[in-house]
Amino acid sequence: MQTNTTCPYCGVGCGVVAEHDTTRCDTLVSVTGDPSHPANQGRLCVKGSALAETLGHDGRLTHPRIDGLEVSWERALDEVGARLGRVRQQHGSGAIAGYLSGQLLTEDYYLANKFFKGFVGTPHVDTNSRLCMASAVAGYKRALGADAVPCCYEDLEEAELVVLTGSNLAWNHPVLYQRLRTAKRRNPLMRIVVIDPRVTDTCEIADLYLPIASGSDIALFNGLLSYMAGKGRLDHDFIERHTEGFDEALAAAQLEAPDIETAADLCGVDAERLETFYYWFASQLHVVTLYSQGINQSSSGTDRVNAIINCHLAGGSIGLPGAGPFSITGQPNAMGGREVGGLANQLAAHMDYHTPGALDRVTRFWTTPGLVPTLPEGPGHKALALVEAIERGEIQALWIMATNPLVSLPDANRVRAALKKCSLVIVSECMAHNDTLEHADILLPASGWAEKDGTVTNSERRISRQRGILPPPGEARHDWWIICEVARRMGFGEAFAYSGVHEVFDEHARLSGFENGPQATPETGYRLFDISGLAGLDRAQYDALAPIQWPVNVGAPKGTARLFENARFMTPSGRARLIAVASRPGMQRPGSDTRLLLNTGRIRDQWHTMTRTARASRLMHHRSEPFIEVHPEDARQASVHNGQIARLHNTLGEYLGRVRVTTAQPQGSLFVPIHWNDQFARQARASALIAAVCDPVSGQPESKQGRVALSPVTAQWEACLLLKRDARAPLEACDWWARIPQAHCQRWQMAGEKVPDWRVWCERMLGQAPTLWSEDETRGHFRAACLHGGRLLWWLAVAPVGTLNPMLGEIGWLDDCFALETLESPQRRRLLAGRAASGEDGGPTVCSCHQVGEKTIGRAIAGGCKSVEALGERLACGTQCGSCIPELKKLLAAQTERREEPVEGTSA
């Protein structure tokens, strides 16, 4: 059976077709791209295409728990209701807080917001979207009067110039990257500019790459505005008729970056290249500037957003096909959260507390017979302030839904201490283990992606259905149901009586249109977010809902692809605002021993804290361990070398990762991934190094400008230990470890200082003496395996530090051995070698879709494959999601360069 649903990872919001085996209730046979979905038109990236491999009931939270003990739902819900009620009675509504997530479906989000703000009466509800795109929201609101993304994905294809800034699109929004790549192929005149301090895979598509200094974005766009003014490239008519604040914004721009030389100097880029960018932008109406976390995650994130929007307004490039400032969200339903009012400074349905008439309007809308909501009068604590309020003892009860703040919030060790201090921590979660769960008093098992029913909104305002396909495991329940049951127990039952999730959506749609519409103005509460055209859907119509972009109302029954085509904005004057902005330094300043800038971000094949993506073993192969990317000169100065385990530290915490020396990283700055945590490695939470400082307007943390010191970890040995999936490695016996789930076993990479007697170590630490082993004491090599009844129990390889990984055999072949009931003699004979007799080492995985390694690709190139297409034909690499194409190109280029290198002693 096939079901059309939506990928639960990034903000592209790809449609997927899930094939379901109706004879097995926990199994999806496959997930493929939905050709009918407008966002992806059949494409998927590697994360989306591996979705079917991430399911299964192992590792799921299946029963409610109180203080670690399994209890019935009745007991858990009674307890949540009673304890929240007590906190409310004793300390007031404001002592209760909710921390939500862009992973929630819109219906869950809507009800959580209604529950906390409307009926508990607390304003302290924030969401992990605060960490991702709060600055984009604040920037849009300041400039356009509403949190309204003006563009749609077609604009990327219709643009003549696409500027990618603060976005590694190739890795973080791969399907949009593929769409852009195809568009460029079709329109050779299209130009693409990539602006990023780091050379990423996205640069591969660039006609022009600007490696600006970290934090110089405002200077760059102020310089552009000055250039446009100086070269007579402003759209005076548009500025005059449709904007305000131009003179002040231009004056600020000219003060900071009056000419190209100054701007180039501030940005640390070549003036000629900068002028090329300025000339291209200023000469083109059809420009899209696409930005993401590189812009948002800063203490001046909102100003950065406005610096970009200023240039679009000054050039009139907004509200047109192929034009506009386009923020791409990180999470699958960050936009849905914005729609319902999930951020602490919002009220509901795109109304803020100060929106004229909003408090009264929402109160009347949520009133049911005999039950009047008690809305707070003003905004609540944003995420970082929420942690501080817990520390001060003001927040006594916190309900976390679908997020893992102990890994994602900055200053993560402080968050851990705050949670320990909070008297009541409730967590709704679908996985049984994550760093946050350890601090929960009450655990509520929630349904997961393939089980949930509802809607999500992607980065282009497109609402898509996520459809439940499989039954939730054990006693897991939907988030919306859990909220309603707690609400009922707290006396709010009449306002939370729904027969199904379609009724929640209906109410959400009706609120969006309540006292809204063209007869209203922004001053009387007119909101662009209006999906009243979707109100009144019955269950069957809701089930059949096709993807559609808001607004959807009487004036736009089929949805709206692009906003502001009439150049009428949502400010009281109807004019868009240019905002005067100036650069300011990051709030995390270098110390005498923490001079290196720390940039954090996502990697291609993992999602957030890996609770789901790490379940697909093929997604663990591209980057298997936490790492630190470092420029060769910084590596030299810190005495660390490629492949070594190193330490980052500052006064807040510590991070351990494997060094990747690369010139892609600018000197003076490091990059680490955000994904690893205590479940997967020792000391690998990047957020532990980031100070809790944020943008004063948006409250978004400065996640890309930490300050750290780098030093080597002294270790004598490294080991690779393969164990049965449910066995745990003896982690107390090593100084560093990382767990890399495989299909049939767990791979543990370990390192340590003290060299033990390895045979004794095996017996003591693994509980069994090796069945097979080989040892070379002089070289420090040891290999062993243990079989019981013909079955492989564990496999171990040890070598001096830095030499192990290159000599490891085929982990895939060894992993398969764990699935066999009995290893036959030929397999046993190959065990210590770690590879099948005929097997060729494929090397590190490059193409995750088809599991093609670097060495295999190298052999194909040496054998005559001269293009990505030729490699695809021979090995299939790069032919599915395309995310590895930039890496394939690099390998082709490197091999070509090697072939062209002059041979010593001959003339070139």
* Residue linked to tokens 């991070």: 655
Closest distance to ligand SF4 from the beta carbon of 173 (Å): 6
Closest distance to ligand SF4 from the beta carbon of 206 (Å): 20
* Residue linked to tokens 């990539």: 194
**Helix ranges, 28-72 (H):** 46-49
Quick note: the x/- pattern for ligand SF4 over 48-67, rule CB under 6 A, is x-------------------
* Residue linked to tokens 């100060």: 354
Closer residue to ligand SF4 (CB): 10 or 253: 10
Binding of ligand SF4 by 671 (CB under 6 A): no
Closer residue to ligand SF4 (CB): 222 or 327: 327
How far apart CA 135 and CA 129 sit, in angstroms, is 10
> Pick from 401, 368, 538, 487: which is nearest to 108 by CA?
401
Closest distance to ligand SF4 from the beta carbon of 552 (Å): 22
Window 11-50: residues binding ligand SF4 (CB under 6 A): 12-14, 40, 44-45, 47-48
* Residue linked to tokens 């398969």: 816
Q: Which segment (10-18, 397-405, 479-487, 817-825) binds ligand SF4 by CB under 6 A?
A: 10-18
Closer residue to ligand SF4 (CB): 304 or 612: 612
Closest distance to ligand SF4 from the beta carbon of 11 (Å): 7
Closest distance to ligand SF4 from the beta carbon of 407 (Å): 19
By beta-carbon distance, which residue lies closest to ligand SF4? 48
Closest distance to ligand SF4 from the beta carbon of 466 (Å): 11
Closer residue to ligand SF4 (CB): 11 or 123: 11
Window 322-351: residues binding ligand SF4 (CB under 6 A): none
Closer residue to ligand SF4 (CB): 7 or 267: 7
Q: Which segment (167-175, 214-222, 278-286, 737-745) binds ligand SF4 by CB under 6 A?
A: 167-175
Q: What is the DSSP string of 431-499?
A: BS--TTGGG-SEEEEB--TTT--EEEE-TTSEEEEE---SPPSTT-B-HHHHHHHHHHHTT-GGGG--S
**Cα–Cα separations (whole angstroms), residue 42 to 4, 48, 172, 801:** 11, 11, 18, 45
Closest distance to ligand SF4 from the beta carbon of 886 (Å): 15
**Helix ranges, 16-151 (H):** 46-49, 73-91, 106-113, 134-144
* Residue 317 φ then ψ, to 5°: -95, 75
Closer residue to ligand SF4 (CB): 96 or 328: 328
Window 676-705: residues binding ligand SF4 (CB under 6 A): none
**Cα–Cα separations (whole angstroms), residue 897 to 642, 858, 871:** 22, 13, 18
Closer residue to ligand SF4 (CB): 34 or 411: 34
Window 788-807: residues binding ligand SF4 (CB under 6 A): none
Closer residue to ligand SF4 (CB): 459 or 617: 459
Closest distance to ligand SF4 from the beta carbon of 484 (Å): 29
Q: Which segment (4-12, 146-154, 349-357, 449-457) binds ligand SF4 by CB under 6 A?
A: 4-12
Closer residue to ligand SF4 (CB): 314 or 614: 614
* Helix 885-900 vs helix 854-862: crossing angle, to nearest 10: 50
> Pick from 654, 663, 758: which is nearest to 716 by CA?
758
Closest distance to ligand SF4 from the beta carbon of 40 (Å): 6
The two structure tokens encoding residue 726:
């449910």
Quick note: the x/- pattern for ligand SF4 over 119-138, rule CB under 6 A, is --------------------
**Cα–Cα separations (whole angstroms), residue 125 to 340, 426, 581, 601, 696:** 12, 14, 30, 25, 18
Closest distance to ligand SF4 from the beta carbon of 473 (Å): 23
Closest distance to ligand SF4 from the beta carbon of 178 (Å): 8
| Count of residues of this chain found to bind ligand SF4 when the rule CB under 6 A is applied | 14
- The answer to whether the beta carbons of residues 34 and 42 sit under 8 Å apart is yes
Binding of ligand SF4 by 402 (CB under 6 A): no
Quick note: the x/- pattern for ligand SF4 over 553-592, rule CB under 6 A, is ----------------------------------------
* Residue 556 φ then ψ, to 5°: -140, 70
> Pick from 332, 884, 434: which is nearest to 619 by CA?
884
Closest distance to ligand SF4 from the beta carbon of 175 (Å): 4
Strand-strand pairing, 745-752 and 706-712: unpaired
The one-character DSSP state at 579 is: -
The correct pick among 4, 7, 54, 735 for binding ligand SF4 (CB under 6 A) is 7
Closest distance to ligand SF4 from the beta carbon of 202 (Å): 14
Q: Which segment (6-14, 253-261, 644-652, 697-705) binds ligand SF4 by CB under 6 A?
A: 6-14
Burial of 592 (C-beta count, 10 Å sphere; 0-12/13-18/19+): exposed
Closest distance to ligand SF4 from the beta carbon of 837 (Å): 38
Closer residue to ligand SF4 (CB): 183 or 504: 183
How far apart CA 374 and CA 365 sit, in angstroms, is 12
The two structure tokens encoding residue 682:
């020792």
The two structure tokens encoding residue 599:
């940039």
* Residue 349 φ then ψ, to 5°: 45, 50
Q: Which segment (2-10, 732-740, 811-819, 897-905) binds ligand SF4 by CB under 6 A?
A: 2-10
Binding of ligand SF4 by 174 (CB under 6 A): yes
Closer residue to ligand SF4 (CB): 529 or 607: 607
Closer residue to ligand SF4 (CB): 47 or 508: 47
> Pick from 214, 129, 130: which is nearest to 165 by CA?
214
Binding of ligand SF4 by 9 (CB under 6 A): yes
Binding of ligand SF4 by 10 (CB under 6 A): yes
Closer residue to ligand SF4 (CB): 176 or 581: 176
* Strand residue runs (E) in 777-884: 781-788, 791-800, 845-847, 852-853
Q: What is the DSSP string of 698-763?
A: T--B-TT-EEEEEEEPP-SEEEEEEEETT----GGG-SEEEEEE-SSEEEEEEEESS---HHHHII
- The answer to whether the beta carbons of residues 395 and 138 sit under 8 Å apart is no
Closer residue to ligand SF4 (CB): 162 or 646: 162
Closer residue to ligand SF4 (CB): 12 or 548: 12
* Helix 301-315 vs helix 134-144: crossing angle, to nearest 10: 40
Closer residue to ligand SF4 (CB): 37 or 124: 37
Beta bridge partner(s), residue 179: none
The correct pick among 143, 175, 307, 470 for binding ligand SF4 (CB under 6 A) is 175
The residues binding ligand SF4 (CB under 6 A) are 7, 9-10, 12-14, 40, 44-45, 47-48, 173-175
